[in-house]
């Protein structure tokens, strides 16, 4: 199998170069990578995939700085990586993806960068609403967060993507934007307190189910796996209530440089860990 792959890669790469010769060591490295990726994929497919994966996509700016790009280019590469990730998730059988794209703390960044990120979001939601894959695989797109705090043009783009996918339930893509885990919990407390005050429920009725139903993720199971890129080992105000039993996985690559083998390794690690839920 690997020999055939190597032969095909060599052939394609020779055809692709004008002079008819290529960097053989790169071809061999790519082939080894592809073979490893395929082996990992078949290994991962033999066990249960996490139903819900949540990702803290960190390191766009550091990735850009390392290769001499500006921060916006880093964010664009980050957006492209997310589009790639959608394919990987579907390939392993994960139905729900939740990604952290913009936290409540991110408003404190340089206003010019925030403006550029908002422009990128606007463009990305229109792109997502028109994406053939989204419709072919019936992916329901939702934003989790304080949507009303976003600029009107971004809200309009979100409405477009959410509206065009509202009847889908095969897959779910949640984008946490203007999102903060503490704010989400505070909002849930306020909602529940309001119900108690109006006499709709008793204090005794407040339980895990009711709190879960009062969060942005009300209709979803908690994430099985939470993954963070860029080597930071923190949760940074992401899904604070929902992560009670999630497996955590930290990987030392910047988000735009996240490869399929990194994704597959994370799934394999999740599958290998005993999931005892404290029992």
Of the candidates 79, 95, 142, 260, which one interacts with ligand FPP according to CB under 6 A?
A: 79
Residue with tokens 């028109």: 130
Site for ligand FPP in 18-47 (CB under 6 A): none
Cα–Cα nearest to 174, from 137, 140, 135: 140
Distance between CA atoms of residues 46 and 65, nearest Å: 39
Under the binding rule (CB under 6 A), the answer on residue 239 touching ligand FPP is no
Could you tell me the smallest distance in angstroms from the CB atom of residue 210 to ligand FPP?
30
Could you tell me the smallest distance in angstroms from the CB atom of residue 80 to ligand FPP?
9
Of the candidates 75, 142, 172, 260, which one interacts with ligand FPP according to CB under 6 A?
A: 75
Distance between CA atoms of residues 220 and 248, nearest Å: 19
Query: Which whole-number Å values give the CA distances from 54 to 29, 89, 96, in the listed order?
Result: 31, 11, 8
Taking the alpha carbons of 141, 223, 212, 78 in that order, is the dihedral positive or negative?
Answer: negative
Cα–Cα nearest to 97, from 129, 162, 50, 159: 50
Of 6-14, 19-27, 76-84, 263-271, the window that binds ligand FPP (rule: CB under 6 A) is 76-84
In which element (H, E) is residue 186 found?
helix 181-197
Under the binding rule (CB under 6 A), the answer on residue 57 touching ligand FPP is yes
Tokens of 154: 């971004």
Of the candidates 150, 154, 175, 239, which one interacts with ligand FPP according to CB under 6 A?
A: 175
**Contact 96/107 with Cβ under 8 angstroms?**
no
| Max CA pair span of the chain | 80
Tokens of 47: 């066990």
Under the binding rule (CB under 6 A), the answer on residue 101 touching ligand FPP is yes
Active site residues: 58, 106
Under the binding rule (CB under 6 A), the answer on residue 174 touching ligand FPP is no
Of 52-60, 161-169, 194-202, 267-275, the window that binds ligand FPP (rule: CB under 6 A) is 52-60
Of the candidates 41, 53, 61, 227, which one interacts with ligand FPP according to CB under 6 A?
A: 61
Under the binding rule (CB under 6 A), the answer on residue 86 touching ligand FPP is no
| Residues making contact with ligand FPP (CB under 6 A) | 57-62, 75, 78-79, 82, 101-102, 106, 117, 120-121, 124, 175, 230
């Amino acid at each position: 199998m690997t020999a055939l792959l190597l032969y095909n890669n060599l052939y394609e790469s020779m055809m692709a170069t004008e002079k008819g010769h290529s960097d053989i060591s790169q071809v061999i490295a790519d082939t080894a990578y592809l073979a490893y990726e395929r082996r990992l994929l078949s290994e991962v497919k033999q066990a249960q995939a996490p139903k819900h994966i949540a990702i803290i996509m960190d390191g766009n700016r550091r990735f850009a700085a390392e290769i001499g790009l500006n921060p916006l280019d880093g964010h664009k590469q980050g957006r492209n990586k997310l589009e790639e990730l959608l394919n990987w998730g579907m390939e392993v059988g994960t139905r729900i993806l939740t990604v952290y794209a913009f936290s409540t703390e991110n408003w404190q960044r340089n206003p010019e960068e925030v403006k550029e990120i908002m422009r990128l979001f606007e463009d990305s939601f229109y792109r997502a609403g028109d994406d053939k894959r989204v419709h072919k695989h019936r992916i329901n797109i939702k934003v989790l967060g304080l949507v009303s705090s976003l600029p009107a043009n971004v809200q309009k783009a979100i409405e477009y993507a959410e509206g065009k996918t509202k009847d889908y339930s095969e897959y779910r893509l949640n984008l946490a934007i203007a999102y903060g885990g503490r704010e989400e919990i505070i909002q849930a407390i306020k909602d529940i307190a309001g119900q108690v005050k109006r006499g709709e429920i008793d204090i005794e009725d407040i339980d895990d189910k009711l709190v879960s139903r009062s969060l942005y993720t009300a209709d979803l199971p908690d994430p099985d796996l939470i993954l963070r890129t860029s080597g930071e080992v923190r949760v940074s105000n992401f899904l604070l209530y929902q992560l009670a039993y999630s497996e955590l996985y930290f990987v030392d690559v910047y988000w735009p440089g996240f490869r399929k083998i990194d994704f597959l390794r994370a799934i394999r690690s999740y599958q290998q860990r005993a999931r005892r839920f404290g029992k």
